[in-house]
Amino acid sequence: MPGMLIRFSWPVLVVVLGLLFMPTLSAQEQTKAIDALFEAWTTPTSPGAAIAIMREGEVVYRKGFGSANLEYDLPITPTTVFHAASLSKQFTAFAILQLAEAGQLSLTDDVHKYLPELQDYGEVITIRHLLTHTSGMRDQWRLLALAGWAREDVVRNREILDLAARQRGLNFSPGDRFMYSNLGYTLLAEIVSRVSGQSFASYTREHIFVPLEMEDSQFYDDYHQIVKHRAYSYGQKAGETVKRPLNLSTVGATSLFTTVDDLLKWAQNFTSLRIGSPSIMEEMKQGAKLNSGAVLDVLAGQFHGTYLGRDVYLHSGSDAGFRSYLLRFPAEGISVALLANTSTADVETLAFSAASHFLPSVKADAQSGTGAAKKGDYPHPENIFIELPISDLQAFVGKYWEHNNWYDREIRLTEEGLSYYRPGSGKATKLRPVGPNSFKMIDDTEDVTVTFKKNGHGLATMLVRVNDEPEIEHLAYDNFALSGYTGDYYSEELAVTYSVRVKQDQLVLYTLRTGEIALKSVARDYFTCSDRNYKKVQFRRDEQGNLTGFSVANGGITRLDFTLLREPIRP
């Protein structure tokens, strides 16, 4: 929905909604408004979603849209069982906090106390670090992908624990920063199992689902198991709806099977406390505290934000074609549970849009979470600018790659001079020279300086400084010989070997299971890729300049090393 930008204090959570003013609606108008949100999935020939809304303990809306199984035309209802993906983490966190309150573990315990098979990282990782994604543990899905596992493969806790035990490094020192880690929550589920003496599925059934009468909920730890009334997973390929199989038998980070009706029972428990205690609920609201002293809106199994000035607690989920969202406005007594079986469902926008129809009337302004007012064009005195010949400007034209966060920028030359272009946004900003290789952005809301120079490795770069922030380095795309990178590279942490080849003027990574992964060359030793698991590939050299290996980084791994094998592996 076009319109207002709603910002949560956790910066990843950004919801775009068009509800600047929401008048109080009648119950019938509310129903019609929410029905309209799901109009695209009202036919039995498409997958869809189920949604249920609670206000002050009363269910005020519940409905299903679309089909749970397209092969048999089975409709989605509020009692349809969905795979809830990462929404599972709320229940894993709660189980850990139950055991902590019972004195069976402490949140400050070193995880090695319960998982001695993990490597010694030389630093203490606590259970609280795992709960708040501040442990530095790499993400299990990214590790499995790099090891050659396909998303349709059967994945059990056993394989993930074996993979975790092989990891010799962390993304960062525990407590230094936040980085979402599914592996952390799989380890938490294993701790619950080892401390309680029960399987995680059995523990949560006995201590959470049965007491809350969540009769259609379970942690699905055996993909052979038959589940009645379940929805199946769908996505899009070339504009056609296709199956997106999911065979996970791993629990903790994922694999909660549940319904929207059951999720509202869970949401109500934050108020009614049928299970748990005020101290557990208070612990679930504690933000992650970093070593620097900063406190984040990353909580135990959930996130905190503000929407139109109102506190909201939430978590989402995404696996294969399944999407999930649970949000709670405690002060207003409003909860929304949304489960979908199609990857096209924007569950965040749908959930907040639905909630808005039940929130008391509110007029949005800058103080209620809608973002700061625009500053206006940053003033630049005209006398700071100089003139440069076109031939000098031409030297800076080209594409540049930001190698830490992996995005592209482009410098273009027009009759008016250089412009800074952001691919994907369609936005170009004019640059005016203030030196032979330095420029200021014009018509921008910040003071931005762009400087072109070579870095300490002799690579052409573009440095972007916003106000007084540190410069952001972008590498210039360059042409160079690829043949020197070929060979076989091995990772002990993944127990996998990649063959590096040149094919059709591209460097290609190859294993039998992954097939060919084509890399895009940027600068000497730097490569990127359209596959998110290989977003940054950097080759390493010794002091003599000889290749020794390469490292891979992506959204869940800051660095994982492969070593060049001097003796190639023969087929």
Q: Which residues are catalytic?
A: 86
Contact between 438 and 426 (Cβ < 8 Å)? no
The span from the CA of 127 to the CA of 57, in Å, is 33
Name residue 280's amino acid: I
Structure-token pair, residue 179: 């980085």
Rounded CA separation 186/251 (Å) = 6
List beta partners, residue 511.
515
The 3 state secondary structure assigned to 147-216 is CCCCCCCCEEHHHHHHHHHHCCCCCCCCCCCCCCCHHHHHHHHHHHHHHHCCCHHHHHHHHHHCCCCCCC
Q: Which residues pair with 303 in a beta bridge?
A: 298, 314
Q: Which of 339, 380, 379, 341 is nearest to 241 (CA)?
A: 341
What 3-state class would DSSP assign to 140?
Answer: helix
The encoded tokens of residue 317 equal: 């989920």
Identity of residue 364:
A
Q: Which candidate, 221, 129, 144, places its Cα nearest to that of 174?
A: 129
Cβ proximity of 92 and 100 under 8 Å: no
Question: Cα separation of 168 and 34, whole Å?
Answer: 49
The Cα–Cα gap between 276 and 269 comes to 8
